Amino acid sequence: MMHVACGANAAYMPYVAAMLHSLLAQPRRMPLTVHFMHDAQLPEAELERLREMVLGCGAEGWQSHCIGTEQLQMFPPNRRFGREAWYRTLLPQLLADQDKVLYLDADTIVRRSIEPLWSTGLSDVTLAAVVNPLYRFMDDGFQRALGIHRAQDYFNSGVLLMNLQRWRARKTDAALQAFIRDHAEQQNWPDQNALNAVLKGEWLMLEPIWNAQNIYFDLPARQLPISARQWREVRDNPAIVHFIAPFKPWDYLCKHPYRADYFRHSAQTPWAGHAIHGKSMTNRLLRLLPQPFMWMFTQVFLRRLRKRFRLAWRHRRLAELWQ
Ligand SMILES: [Mn+2]
């Protein structure tokens, strides 16, 4: 039995449904159980809709796990990420009878059978994951603070093949709690940084096709810590596409090469036809720019501009006070 876990809040139900639809649309020989993590705020009817869809799509098993606030208490709040980001770290406890689980973020789409991934050997590692390279304009100081000095030593936590038995045996929960306690400050990627810090040297590097992050489509091979062969494969035929920030398929500004895959699956879920975000006049113009420029423009340039305006405005106020 393959065990696949994911989680969502009410706002993310349409997206996690599309992900699960894509997962169940792939050919497979092994039976599969879906583990869905949510909180008590999720309406019962929404949960039931997802359960019906998953079983209707042919999953052999369905288990929902309601996460109580007490289970999330130790996790610090974050400006960008909800506490749902920490759900994946609860899997070793939640699936106490299982040895292995494949965790998938709600913002992924599966395009090929996951059976080769599922059968990856994990005998000497706590998990398997794909490298998360950084763009050049990003500050990698946070990685050095975590004790990570090479680009290929930092993994993305959106797709995790977890060795639950080893996690429990090596008391990874305790190590994670200690890290969180000692690093209460805001982290750019909270759960991902914690996992990378705690599992240094304890994880197996997967082929990039299993977690095709935007950067693999944005940059040439020579700027990435992967081979030319891996670069071609991940772009031509990714097995799991991961729609990283800032633009998700449901954002008007998204120009991801595999965006259509998301909509093809979304259209076959009970949440079909959900709203597209950010269809404003400014964004209509912005969308004409090539994607990396759009990215830079909204994430770096606009922010700086806003900051400058706010400062200028404050200076004026001060000047007025002096008069
Ligand atoms: Mn994600």
At residue 99's C-alpha, the angle toward residues 195 and 61, to 5°, is 105
Question: Packing angle between helix 13-24 and helix 259-266, nearest 10 degrees?
Answer: 90
Question: How far does CA 59 lie from the centroid of its chain?
Answer: 23
Listed residues: CB within 5 A of ion ligand 1 = 105, 107, 158
Q: Tell me the mean pLDDT in the region 243-255.
A: 89
Whole-angstrom distance, CA of residue 213 vs CA of residue 189: 15
Arithmetic mean of pLDDT, 113-121: 98
Per-residue pLDDT, 17: 98
Report how far ligand 1's centroid is from the alpha carbon of 308 (Å). Answer: 31
Identity of the amino acid at 12: Y
CA of 106 to the centre of ligand 1 (A): 7
What is the share, in percent, of the chain residues with pLDDT greater than 90? 72
Q: Tell me: the pLDDT tens digits for 212-240?
A: 999 999 899 999 999 999 999 999 999 99
Reading the block at residue 12, the tokens are 């993310």
Q: Find all residues with CB under 8 Å of 287, minimum gap 6, and list them.
A: 252, 253, 255, 294
The answer to whether residues 112 and 23 touch, using CB atoms and an 8 Å cutoff, is no
Q: Ligand 1 centroid vs 243 CA: distance in angstroms?
A: 6
Hey, is 103 helix, strand or coil? strand
Buried b / exposed e over 14-45, threshold 16 CB at 10 Å, is: bbbbbbbbbbbeeeeeeebbbbbbbbeebeee
Backbone φ, ψ for residue 25 (5° rounding): -80, -10
Distance, in Å, from the CA atom of 279 to the CA atom of 275, rounded to the nearest integer, reads 10
Instruction: For the chain, give the mean pLDDT.
Output: 91
* Dihedral pair phi/psi, residue 159, rounded to 5°: -130, 115
pLDDT at 303: 74
Residue 145: CB atoms within 10 Å: 13
All structural domains of the chain with their residue ranges: 2-277, 289-322
Q: Which CATH superfamily groups domain 2-277?
A: Spore Coat Polysaccharide Biosynthesis Protein SpsA; Chain A (3.90.550.10)
Q: Distance between CA atoms of 24 and 52, rounded to whole angstroms? A: 13
pLDDT band at 122 (very low <50, low <70, confident <90, very high): very high
Q: Give the distance (Å) from ligand 1 centre to CA of residue 244.
A: 6
Query: What CA dihedral angle connects 86, 120, 226 and 198, to 10 degrees?
Result: 40
Distance of alpha carbon 141 from alpha carbon 144, whole angstroms: 5
Write down how long the chain is: 323
- pLDDT, position 321: 57
| C-alpha 159 to ligand 1 mean position (Å) | 8
Indicate the SS3 state at residue 290. coil
Task: Look up the pTM and report it.
Answer: 0.90
- Tell me, in angstroms, the distance from the centre of ligand 1 to residue 131's CA: 14
Q: Is the dihedral of CA 170, 167, 192, 223 positive or negative?
A: positive
